[in-house]
Structure 1
Amino acid sequence: MEIFVRVFFSYFFEGKNFAAIRNLIFEFSPLEFCARPNRKNMDLVMSYVLAHGRVARATWFYRLIGLILVCTAFGMLGKYVAGETGATLFAALFVWCSCAISTQRLHDIGKSGWSLLFFLIPVFGPIWLFVQLTSKGAEGSNRYGKDPLSRQGYLTVNIAH
């Protein structure tokens, strides 16, 4: 595997520090993730499963793309291993997780997760929902939590000394 990565990255990133790129790729270990679950790891997993809080547009988009890629790959593997049942399992997982992520996005604009039901209205429902999901989030806190793009207290410098 490392040979493939070395050839691939040497082709696309000529002149770059390969050791730094390799360390970045192999830094995350799924075994380490399962062996030592910490709050940050569990929050990431729960953000895909639970519909609490708010998420910014870019984060929503990247999570959705990652979810599509992972569920497609594992769905194909599941179909190969367990037939249609395996593929159906990952399709259901995709629907659940994409609804949770989209609900978080709707929370960012101040709408309830029940707004996802507009998807069931033919033609105009999906268009309205897409417009809502890609619109700018509400500034400041709302009833669903604090603004994910807020940077209050991000860089505080005490110059009194």
Structure 2
Amino acid sequence: MHWYVDVLKKYAVFHGRARRQEYWMFAAFNVGIYILLMFVDGYAGNEIPSTLYTLAILLPSLGVTVRRLHDTDRSGWWCLIALLPLLGFIGMLIFTATDGTPGQNKHGVNPKEAQVFA
């Protein structure tokens, strides 16, 4: 649960780096919430709950995605590749699943190493 809350605390942070674990735990938690919201939407007879959640989580999702791309030493602008049908999804899947660059890169220190020393 703390992975989800940590991302929400940094909802508008587009600098620095995010570990794979931070990104994927946040994504997994969102999938769980969306599954619950599908039932709520069906019960309510509209899509208002899931739409409100999507709007609320848009900026934190974008922020953690940019930080994840930074961890792989890519610019945050690579998020735009997701706009391409199918190829964009596959590209982002590869980028976010790739291990981060070891040591420091132009976006900051490696979060794995920073966590070991903390």
TM range (shorter): 0.7 to 0.9
The answer to whether the 8 Å contact 1:57/1:133 transfers is: yes
Any idea what the Cα deviations from partners look like across 1:57-100, whole Å, max 9, x if unmatched? 12211121112223543575477569433321112234433222
| Higher relative helix content | 2
Aligned pairs for 1:1-161 (under 5 A) are 44-73=7-36, 76-77=39-40, 83-151=46-114, 154=117
* Number of matched pairs: 115
- Structure 2 unpaired stretches of 5+: none
- Structure 1 unpaired stretches of 5+: 1-27, 29-41, 156-161
TM-score (norm 1): 0.56
Matching residue's letter, 2:110 = D
Identity score, percent: 25
Q: Distance in 1 between matches of 2:29 and 2:115?
A: 29
TM-score (norm 2): 0.73
* Post-superposition offset of 1:142: 2.0
Matching residue's letter, 1:125 = G
The structure with the larger Rg is: 1
Q: CA RMSD in A?
A: 3.1
Q: Specify whether residues 78 and 50 from structure 1 end up closer, same or farther in structure 2 by C-alpha distance, changes over 3 A only.
A: farther
